[in-house]
Amino acid sequence: MNFVKEAQVMVQVNMFDCGGIAICVCISHKIADACTMSTFIRNWAGKTNTARCGGSIVIPTRNQNLLIPSFDSAALFPPSEQLPSPPEIPPTPVPKEDSRIEKIVSKRFVLDAVKIKSVRDKLQVLMHDKYKFHRPTRVEVVSALIWKEAMKSSPTGSSSTVYHVVNFRKKIDPPLHDVSFGNISMHKKIKAVFPAITAQKNTANETSSRTSNEVEVLEVLENQLTEFVAQLRGEINKIKGDKGCIEKIYISSVSGYDDFIANISDVKDEALALWMTSWCNFGLYDADFGWGKPIWVTSSDPFIEPGKNKVFLIDTKCGQGREVWVNFEEDDMSKFELHLSEILELF
C-alpha cells in the first residue's frame, strides 16, 4: 500500500432535484477516529457557515469555546518500535472454500428517548443497590439490550465476547481535550456471561395491569441487563491511568492484532461474539454548513463492511434516542427483530 499517494480525506457532495443535499465524508482510520472526524466536520462546517453569512473567517481559540483541533496526542503517543509496521499487519483472512456461505442482513432500529429513559430509570435503582454505580448511560443501556436479544437463543450460562469501542481521551490522567486529533480509541474485549437469574416472589405493590408471568419476566430481564452493564462498565473502567499505563494497554492491543483477527475468524468456542461501535455524543447533528442542521446523520460502514454480528450506534436528531444498525445472519436477524420488539413492549 502506498501511504504517500493514499487519500487521507475524501468528500462527496450530492445535490438532489428536490433541493436536498447529502455531504459524505471519509477519513482514514489510520489518523482519525470518530471523535476526530466529528471535530473535523464541525470545524469545517463552522468556518463554511461563517463565510456564507458574509462574516470574516477568524482563527478560533479555546477561550472562545470553538472547535480547534489539538495535536497533543502525537507527543503523548509517539511512534513505537513495539507496534507492527503496516506491511507486517496481517490482512483479514479469506474464508476457506468449504466454509458455509453466510447471508448477512443489515437493519436499522430506532430506540426513542422515552423508551430508553424508562429502561435507564429501572436499571438505575438496581445498579445503585447492587454496585453503588451511577445511572447507566444511554449507550450502556442500548448495548445491553442488543446483547440480551442477540443472546436470546443461547443457553443460560453461555459466555459471549463483546468488543466495545472505547475512547481513550477521558481515560488518561490528566485527560486529553475532546478535540485531540488522532485515532485515540480501541475495541475493549469483554467476556460477558448470560446470567441465570430467578425472579423474586411477587409483591402486592406490583401493578395489576401486568400478569404475574410478565412481572417475573421483566424482573429477570432487568437483572440480566444490570449484570451486563456492570460487566461492561467494570471492564472499560480498567482502562484508566497515566499516559504510560494507557500506552501499554494500547500497544498490547495493537501488537495482538493477529490474535484479534483470529478471534474474528474463529469464535466456535463462544455462544456469541459482538463488535460494537458508538458514534454517540459527538455532536454531528450540530454541523451546520449554512443550510441548517442535518436532518439525518449515519454511517455507511454497515454496508461497506457487512461483517457478521456488528453493531453500530449513533444519536437520533433529538440527541436522546439512539439509532442502531445491526448486521446478523438472515435467520438470526428475523429472531433478533422479533425478540427486540417483545422486550421493548415490557418497558
Enter the DSSP assignment of 19: S
129 as an active site residue: the answer is no
Considering its fold, how many domains does the chain have in total? 1
Bridge partner list, 23 = 13
> What is the DSSP code string of 30-64?
TT--HHHHHHHHHHHHHHHHHHHTT-------GGG
72 as an active site residue: the answer is no
DSSP SS3 for 13: strand
- pLDDT confidence of 158, banded at 50, 70, 90? low
Residues 37, 279: Cα–Cα separation, whole Å: 10
Whether the pLDDT of residue 89 is over 50: the answer is no
Query: Beta strand pairing status for 322-329 and 185-193?
Result: unpaired
Active-site option among 112, 178, 286, 288: 288
Residues 7, 184: Cα–Cα separation, whole Å: 20
Give a yes or no: residue 211 inside a domain.
Answer: yes
Whether the pLDDT of residue 10 is over 90: the answer is yes
Give a yes or no: residue 52 inside a domain.
Answer: no
CA distances from 15 to 21, 60, 291 (A): 5, 30, 12
Give a yes or no: residue 32 inside a domain.
Answer: no
Active-site option among 29, 121, 129, 259: 29
Of the listed ranges 164-168, 256-260, 272-276, 300-304, the one predicted with least confidence: 256-260
Average pLDDT in the 140-167 region? 81
**Residue carrying the nine cell digits 463483546:** 162
What is the pLDDT, as a whole number, of residue 242? 58
Give a yes or no: residue 61 inside a domain.
Answer: no
Give a yes or no: residue 13 inside a domain.
Answer: no
Give a yes or no: residue 322 inside a domain.
Answer: yes
Whether the pLDDT of residue 152 is over 80: the answer is no
Give a yes or no: residue 231 inside a domain.
Answer: yes
At 192, list the grid cell: 460477558
Q: Where is pLDDT greater, at 134 or 167? A: 167
Residues 5, 252: Cα–Cα separation, whole Å: 30
Tell me the pLDDT tens digit for each residue of 194-241. 655 444 544 445 444 556 666 777 787 888 888 888 888 888 888 776
Tell me the pLDDT tens digit for each residue of 163-205. 898 998 888 878 888 888 988 888 888 887 665 544 454 444 5
- Per the structure, the complete domain to which residue 217 belongs is given by 102-345
Bridge partner list, 326 = 107, 311
Give a yes or no: residue 330 inside a domain.
Answer: yes
